[in-house]
Structure 1
Amino acid sequence: MKRSIFLLALLLSSVLTQLWAKPPKFEWKQATANGYTYRYVANDPMQTRFYTLKNGLTVILSPNKKEPRIRTLIAVRAGSNTDPATNTGLAHYLEHLLFKGTDKIGSLDWAKEKPLLDQIDALYEQYNKTTDPDKRAEIYREIDKVSGEAAKFAIANEYDKTMKNMGSVGTNAHTSVEETVYEEDIPSNAIDRFLTLQAERFRKPIFRIFHTELEAVYEEKNRTLDEDPRKILYASLSGVFPSHNYGQQTTIGTIEHLKNPSLVEIRNYYNKYYVANNMAFIFAGDFNPDEVIKKIDQKFGFLPNKPVPEYKPVPEKPLLGETVKEVWGPSAESVRINFRMPGEWDVKSSVLLTLCDEILSNAQAGLIDLNLNKAQKIQGGGSSNYRFKDYSVEFLFGTPKQGQSLEEVKNLLMAQLDKLKKGEFEEWLIKAIVANYKLNALRNLENNDDRANRLSDIFIRNKGQLWADEVAKLDAMGLVSKQQVVDFAKKHFSAGYVVVYKRQGEDKSAQKVQKPTITPVAVNKDAQSPLFKEINQMPLSPIAPAWMDYQKDFQRDQIKGAEFFYVQNKDDEQYRLSMRFEMGTWSNKLLPLAAQYLQLASTDKYTADQFSQELFKTATAYNFTPGQEFTTLTLSGLQEHLGAGLALVEELIRNCKADEQVWNNLKARLLKSRKDAKSNKNAIRAAVRTYAQYGAKNPFNHVLSDAEINALKAEDLVNLLKDLFNHKHQIIYYGPKTLAEIKPMLEKAHALPASFKANPAKVNYAKITQDKPQVLFANYDMVQTEIDWIRNTEMYNPQLAPTLNVFNNYFGAGGFSCLVVQTLRESKALAYATQAYYAPPGKKDERYTMQAYIQTQADKFKEAVEGMNELLNELPESEGFLTSAKTAIKNGIETDRTKGDDIVFSYLAAQLRGVDHDDRKHTYEKASSIAYNDLKAFHAANISNKAYTLCVLGSDKRLKMEDLKAYGEVKTMSLEELFGY
């Protein structure tokens, strides 16, 4: 089931009049508990409570006791929509600065720090208003100087350290057009610590260490200049919204405004929008709502309530005819057709838009899925949407086959739209879409992230009072008629539209935010404010870790010689059935091609289209996924449809027909996708890294040549598929049936041979030794440069797990509170993204790999490499980071709950490592005793002053080859040797 962009897949909420009447069972009700009155919806499966505190603060609570964790979101109705036109990107700036602390947290001496910060504020205002380049440079030098002095009194990332110490994971935030949301995932015993810190955070935020954080935002902006999908997005929105801020103000802001920030304007923005009546606290997880609401009220009663200026756009004029935009970049060509739609305030439109979108493309049985993708008339395509309050955007997208023009793809997509408007689809499709949505909603109940995101979206779009309709909508969607869908499509897809052609070639408009001169600032990594100590001393009720017991947590049996693993689902009627084959691409290069052919195959009983439709009717999802050493076939859905779904998939695999026309068309598309991969910077980076790990012949280029693909016949793939079940495989079932019930059913439905065939011989790839420094350079037209360090080390040792986990968390994989991020981003402002970690292998007979990464501007290449090399060669000592790392690891293990068939897959992975038990226990028991000297010895033995292969992805127009040569012999990689074809 496809999800809409920006976490808005399950919107569709509001008053459902004109379409249906809300069932009485979903009525609003009111209750009082522990002195607080709340509203709730009867029969809400999320048991959501809506509170409004005296100061207007919205609190939304959704209990879920499945694991001892809580997803928390603090949502603010403030995004790029409400940025001042003279200071775009301001809401996003502010998001970054809300992690910098207050006068009580993040400061060594506020009395000494404040005058320096005031001076920096004044300098930025002067800088903002100055146009003379020489005077601006002089002012910036003074900003850099004073910032260095101020940083001596700052404690960088003390907020992040405090969250990490209480066991939070995923500390983050995001800003979009209508929202800024602050995200945490905390242990259920850390509520008091969390609320104390958040209350302080919003009491008096201080914008310290600003100029290095500003440089991180510069880097983030430069990243967007290298992302062709982002260019398509901006062109689409600017075309659809020539007046509205949706299209006229990007979230990250303009380069000109990024160069001229105003701390005064940022502070004014905070005071204007960060008020109680414009914010919501959202909890989803393991807590007592009667206790939590009282604690939130006590902590956040100080937030003011005052009028919030509302963005009131001038209504957009109707789009007329076709508006064409073009964007350029190195990645593959594509086309997007954008239609402006009513916003989320319009219920009837919102619901009907969802149905139109799914009828067009649902990844299985939509018009584009069947008529274009399965018919192989284009390289690939689909539909999706952006959902906003004032307007929405529905878009169709596609990529061309070899020799096909973007205009031809556009016309084919528009033809599917015509079919929608003419009602050329079956009535049952609407019912099947609703059934799939219901299953997806059931899955989302298990996930605190999905619960919290859905509730946050309801708040941001001022729809909290309409939660009853949101809860009722799945029942109500089934009442929509085909004619209503057709009428909506005729009305809203017949006006003008915006076509964005993504052309392949040089982007001559590309520019970048220039690098200012920044002197590294002090980060005082081991300093602690009194409030930090106070919060970390607040008592925590113990949470006992739950260890997996591979002897008790699942049952083992046999089904006609196949190993069978069984776990019962005691919560609902969902099932997952997996078949895991002990062969993958290292055994047979044809497997990935066979998997793709299977998506297009027919049998005597079903055409390819009929198969997709029948499977979609049963809300069954299936995936056939060849990996390097294992191939997995997985079905999932509701238990009542398991028999029908399995019968369909078995019919397809066992009886698929060889069709040379289908294969020839697929062959052409495969060759085109391989060509397109060579223009994808993420694919190129992955290829270079794999080359560095394994050498010239490696898992990445373990593929067929073009000539070998051209020589293949459809029969070669069909024979492989028909023979699949004759090879040894394991069967894993997670579902509501008892073992006694499900085993006979599977024995009957899944025919197996008297004995299994031997698997093809497997190619094994061994990691190479980096015995001398080397640079692998891949040329790519981009603004930034991406650099990876690769070094393979010793063989796998399970006893190393505690040290390795603590080291990674301490050194470079512990979020903002680790040495690499603190040094390279926070102190030296060299990157937006950087990390480093000592990666364990998946098998006992393989080696570890030390990996490091930084994405930076090309003109910072030398500084970035030297900065990372310093950390790789000399491990700084930080007792605070070490304590945080150990605490985070223990808290994470205490609240981790492995459930369902994940337990079985954990056991199978452990077997490959030669382990027969839950090896998290070893880390949990030993982590606390690991000292800095242990990490230093580990670092010296495996990382420090060793030879690394440096993988550099960047533009030869921006990088100097002599700079690369300083770090080893340079080998410029060709795409052919990287990709193997």
Structure 2
Amino acid sequence: MLQFCRSLLSFSVAALMLKHATRAIALLLTLLLSWGMVPAMALAQTENAPAVKPPQSIQPYLDRVIQQITEFRLANGMKFIVLERHQAPVVSFLTYADVGGADEPDGKTGVAHFLEHLAFKGTTRIGTVDYKAEAPLLDKLDRLSEQIQAATAQNQKVELDKLKAEFAQVEASAGKLAKQNELGRIVEQAGGVGLNANTSADATRYFYSFPSNKLELWMSLESERFLEPVFREFYKEKDVILEERRLRTDNSPIGQMVEAFSDVAFKVHPYRRPVIGYNQDIQGLTRKDVQTFYETHYAPNNLSIAIVGDVNPTEVKRLAQLYFGRFKAKPAPPEVVATEPAQTEPRSLTLRLETQPWYLEGYHRPALKHPDDVIYDMIASILSSGRTSRLYKSLVEKQQLALNAAGFSGFPGNKFPNLMLFYALTAPGHTVDEVAATLRVEIDRLKTEPVSTQELDRVKTQARADLLRSLDSDMGMAQALLEYEVKTGSWRNLFKQIDEIAAVTTQDIQRVAQATFVPQNRTIGKLLPKAL
């Protein structure tokens, strides 16, 4: 893992959650929603991106893609989706764990992200000089950590100093037996690129690409790191994660705002909690907590793998059975059962920090698998897609109330009912109340004025182009296939988007807007400078 470089968000989340937002502000917000790095694939479209002119119909292309997909499930429940693409001798691999921040127990927030970090630390054979000698030192560090916490609670300064000195000595000894980043070196030496991962509220994703003749090496490495993981360097990694939180939340006004906004907008559902975790919870996490979470949620039937590129599906299946078939079947992990009740009155919050003024406004909406999902995407595109969007033209260009203004669906995830979130960075000399009033005018227009056929056709064309662009790279395709497989029940639903986009009418836009953009469903957030 690459320490602070990991704090960039994966495109996979950005493409699904922010595909119609402007780049600079959207990326700033999305950094707060998922924790990991950007894989080697195209970023979401912006007004500066080169235009993609889709053909009259891209359905023939999608049909050809579907014909090249093979799927199978191992006896232990692990799902594989394989897409043959022989244009270049490379293969992209993505392991999708259907577990994210929303699945964490109360009081253990941040454990999913912590586990993602530790999944790069190796196994009983990778990342160690001598595991038999290393293992008792790791156990001793756990015992010393518990004793340090007890001595701290009892304010036993002399004993605390002694324990800390012993802890440092044992940690140094364990460090001498660890081979830092050995997994990364093996991948790099074999020609692999893009080794990384990210954790969101919905899922944890691990990904990289290899030359196609390294298929079996990937099978060996990836199966081993989830079959026999060793969560070494736990306490050093805890410090790294706490620093991540300080950097992107505690020392970031917009980071604090996003966390507070989620806590107000959601009252029951775990979407209200930050993926990085609360500071106190992170500090209290133990290696046993991570091990328990891993054993519960990294069951074979909770893992799905996409392999896209220059491969033979028959060979993939043979090797998958050989390497991943070693995983023992487990009971299905517990599901998120909390259901967010319908919001019945407006909610609001105001923070005063050292910052420029920001305005946020959110509305509850259904999950990705809901039939109206594509309509929400159309609404986001009409309001927020580039310099021709209504919010940009009104708030930024015409009235100059904001330096930027946009909106997107899927905050902070889209597996469960979530929010459509609008945000604006207020221009100098103007107030968030001015921004709020004008933003509301544009939102209400969707309720009272039917969208023109010309405008709807424009956003449909953009949506088709966005779909093509997201499927252009092997890693992008791997991500999209797994998102739809896990969140909607079948990867085939990805390829139904063309028909769904074409079927949206102006009446659909108005219907969804009228049902969604109502005062009782609204949460607003005002981030204001500290009073002088």
> Which amino acid in structure 2 is aligned with residue 59 of structure 1?
F
1:159 aligns with 2:183: yes
1:437 aligns with 2:447: no
Measured after TM superposition, the shift of residue 127 of structure 1 is 4.5
Q: Which whole-Å CA distance do the structure 2 matches of 1:276 and 1:308 have between them?
A: 9
Give the corresponding residue for 2:26.
Answer: none
Measured after TM superposition, the shift of residue 487 of structure 1 is 1.0
1:450 aligns with 2:472: no
Give the corresponding residue for 2:446.
Answer: 420
Two-structure CA RMSD over aligned residues (Å): 2.6
What pairs with 1:193-342 in structure 2 (closer than 5 Å)? 193-224=217-248, 225-247=250-272, 249-342=273-366
> Which amino acid in structure 2 is aligned with residue 241 of structure 1?
F
Quick one: structure 1 residues 447 and 253, their matched pair in 2 at CA, closer, same or farther if it must change by over 3 Å? same
Q: Which whole-Å CA distance do the structure 1 matches of 2:213 and 2:65 have between them?
A: 26
Q: Which whole-Å CA distance do the structure 1 matches of 2:242 and 2:67 have between them?
A: 40
> Which amino acid in structure 2 is aligned with residue 352 of structure 1?
I
1:248-305 deviations in whole A, cap 9, x for unaligned? x211112112222211111111111111100011112222222222212211001122
1:123-158 deviations in whole A, cap 9, x for unaligned? 334445662343555544433222112222221211
Asked if the contact 2:12/2:476 (under 8 Å) is kept, the reply is no
Quick one: structure 1 residues 479 and 182, their matched pair in 2 at CA, closer, same or farther if it must change by over 3 Å? same
Asked if the contact 1:334/1:406 (under 8 Å) is kept, the reply is yes
1:479 aligns with 2:500: no
Quick one: structure 1 residues 369 and 426, their matched pair in 2 at CA, closer, same or farther if it must change by over 3 Å? farther
Give the corresponding residue for 1:815.
Answer: none
Asked if the contact 1:221/1:252 (under 8 Å) is kept, the reply is yes
1:114 aligns with 2:139: no
* Other structure's SS at 1:317 match: coil
Give the corresponding residue for 2:378.
Answer: 355
Q: Which whole-Å CA distance do the structure 2 matches of 1:54 and 1:143 have between them?
A: 44
Quick one: structure 1 residues 45 and 377, their matched pair in 2 at CA, closer, same or farther if it must change by over 3 Å? farther
> Which amino acid in structure 1 is aligned with residue 16 of structure 2?
L
Q: Which whole-Å CA distance do the structure 2 matches of 1:150 and 1:252 have between them?
A: 27
Asked if the contact 1:124/1:261 (under 8 Å) is kept, the reply is no
Quick one: structure 1 residues 52 and 162, their matched pair in 2 at CA, closer, same or farther if it must change by over 3 Å? same
1:407 aligns with 2:433: yes
* Other structure's SS at 2:503 match: coil
Give the corresponding residue for 1:53.
Answer: 74
Q: Which whole-Å CA distance do the structure 2 matches of 1:304 and 1:478 have between them?
A: 44
Measured after TM superposition, the shift of residue 445 of structure 1 is 3.3
* Other structure's SS at 2:91 match: strand
1:374 aligns with 2:397: yes
Measured after TM superposition, the shift of residue 329 of structure 1 is 4.0
Q: Which whole-Å CA distance do the structure 2 matches of 1:172 and 1:132 have between them?
A: 41
Asked if the contact 1:56/1:305 (under 8 Å) is kept, the reply is yes
Quick one: structure 1 residues 422 and 190, their matched pair in 2 at CA, closer, same or farther if it must change by over 3 Å? same
Q: Which whole-Å CA distance do the structure 1 matches of 2:12 and 2:211 have between them?
A: 29
Q: Which whole-Å CA distance do the structure 2 matches of 1:331 and 1:464 have between them?
A: 43
> Which amino acid in structure 2 is aligned with residue 427 of structure 1?
T
* Other structure's SS at 2:177 match: coil
* Other structure's SS at 1:267 match: helix
Quick one: structure 1 residues 276 and 170, their matched pair in 2 at CA, closer, same or farther if it must change by over 3 Å? same
Give the corresponding residue for 1:747.
Answer: none
Give the corresponding residue for 1:612.
Answer: none
Q: Which whole-Å CA distance do the structure 2 matches of 1:414 and 1:342 have between them?
A: 21
> Which amino acid in structure 2 is aligned with residue 132 of structure 1?
Q
Quick one: structure 1 residues 282 and 148, their matched pair in 2 at CA, closer, same or farther if it must change by over 3 Å? same
Give the corresponding residue for 1:71.
Answer: 92
Asked if the contact 1:127/1:136 (under 8 Å) is kept, the reply is yes
Quick one: structure 1 residues 128 and 87, their matched pair in 2 at CA, closer, same or farther if it must change by over 3 Å? farther
Q: Which whole-Å CA distance do the structure 2 matches of 1:327 and 1:4 have between them?
A: 31
2:107 to 86, 105, 116: 86
1:62 to 83, 87, 91: 83
2:154 to 132, 151, 167: 132
* Other structure's SS at 2:127 match: coil
Measured after TM superposition, the shift of residue 489 of structure 1 is 0.9
What pairs with 1:782-797 in structure 2 (closer than 5 Å)? none
Unaligned runs of 5+ in 1: 12-24, 27-40, 508-981
* Other structure's SS at 2:213 match: coil
Q: Which whole-Å CA distance do the structure 2 matches of 1:313 and 1:137 have between them?
A: 45
> Which segment is superposed worse, 79-88 or 127-136?
127-136
Q: Which whole-Å CA distance do the structure 2 matches of 1:190 and 1:487 have between them?
A: 51
> Which amino acid in structure 1 is aligned with residue 255 of structure 2?
R
* Other structure's SS at 2:136 match: helix
> Which amino acid in structure 2 is aligned with residue 393 of structure 1?
L
Unaligned runs of 5+ in 2: 1-10, 20-57
* Other structure's SS at 2:308 match: strand
Q: Which whole-Å CA distance do the structure 1 matches of 2:509 and 2:283 have between them?
A: 48
Q: Which whole-Å CA distance do the structure 2 matches of 1:279 and 1:442 have between them?
A: 26
Quick one: structure 1 residues 331 and 460, their matched pair in 2 at CA, closer, same or farther if it must change by over 3 Å? farther
Q: Which whole-Å CA distance do the structure 1 matches of 2:294 and 2:150 have between them?
A: 22
Q: Which whole-Å CA distance do the structure 2 matches of 1:367 and 1:353 have between them?
A: 15
* Other structure's SS at 2:326 match: coil
* Other structure's SS at 2:388 match: coil
Quick one: structure 1 residues 469 and 149, their matched pair in 2 at CA, closer, same or farther if it must change by over 3 Å? closer
Q: Which whole-Å CA distance do the structure 1 matches of 2:307 and 2:357 have between them?
A: 42
1:539-591 deviations in whole A, cap 9, x for unaligned? xxxxxxxxxxxxxxxxxxxxxxxxxxxxxxxxxxxxxxxxxxxxxxxxxxxxx
Q: Which whole-Å CA distance do the structure 1 matches of 2:211 and 2:161 have between them?
A: 47
Q: Which whole-Å CA distance do the structure 2 matches of 1:184 and 1:5 have between them?
A: 16
Q: Which whole-Å CA distance do the structure 2 matches of 1:260 and 1:273 have between them?
A: 20
Q: Which whole-Å CA distance do the structure 1 matches of 2:531 and 2:244 have between them?
A: 21
* Count of residue correspondences: 475
Quick one: structure 1 residues 156 and 78, their matched pair in 2 at CA, closer, same or farther if it must change by over 3 Å? same
Q: Which whole-Å CA distance do the structure 2 matches of 1:127 and 1:294 have between them?
A: 49
Give the corresponding residue for 2:418.
Answer: 392
Measured after TM superposition, the shift of residue 371 of structure 1 is 3.0
* Other structure's SS at 2:113 match: helix
Asked if the contact 2:299/2:333 (under 8 Å) is kept, the reply is no
Q: TM-score, normalised by structure 1?
A: 0.46
Quick one: structure 1 residues 60 and 242, their matched pair in 2 at CA, closer, same or farther if it must change by over 3 Å? same
1:872-897 deviations in whole A, cap 9, x for unaligned? xxxxxxxxxxxxxxxxxxxxxxxxxx
Measured after TM superposition, the shift of residue 308 of structure 1 is 2.6
Measured after TM superposition, the shift of residue 179 of structure 1 is 1.0
Quick one: structure 1 residues 275 and 127, their matched pair in 2 at CA, closer, same or farther if it must change by over 3 Å? farther
Q: Which whole-Å CA distance do the structure 2 matches of 1:46 and 1:89 have between them?
A: 40
Quick one: structure 1 residues 364 and 411, their matched pair in 2 at CA, closer, same or farther if it must change by over 3 Å? same
Larger Rg: 1
Give the corresponding residue for 2:116.
Answer: 95
Quick one: structure 1 residues 217 and 4, their matched pair in 2 at CA, closer, same or farther if it must change by over 3 Å? closer
* Other structure's SS at 1:152 match: helix
Measured after TM superposition, the shift of residue 66 of structure 1 is 3.2
Q: Which whole-Å CA distance do the structure 1 matches of 2:208 and 2:373 have between them?
A: 30
What pairs with 1:12-51 in structure 2 (closer than 5 Å)? 43-44=64-65, 47-51=68-72
Asked if the contact 1:170/1:183 (under 8 Å) is kept, the reply is yes
> Which amino acid in structure 2 is aligned with residue 106 of structure 1?
G
1:365 aligns with 2:388: yes
Measured after TM superposition, the shift of residue 8 of structure 1 is 1.0
Q: Which whole-Å CA distance do the structure 1 matches of 2:254 and 2:70 have between them?
A: 38
* Other structure's SS at 1:246 match: helix
Quick one: structure 1 residues 213 and 320, their matched pair in 2 at CA, closer, same or farther if it must change by over 3 Å? same
Asked if the contact 1:7/1:454 (under 8 Å) is kept, the reply is no
**Which structure shows the higher helix fraction?**
2
Identity of matched residues, %: 24
Asked if the contact 2:432/2:526 (under 8 Å) is kept, the reply is yes
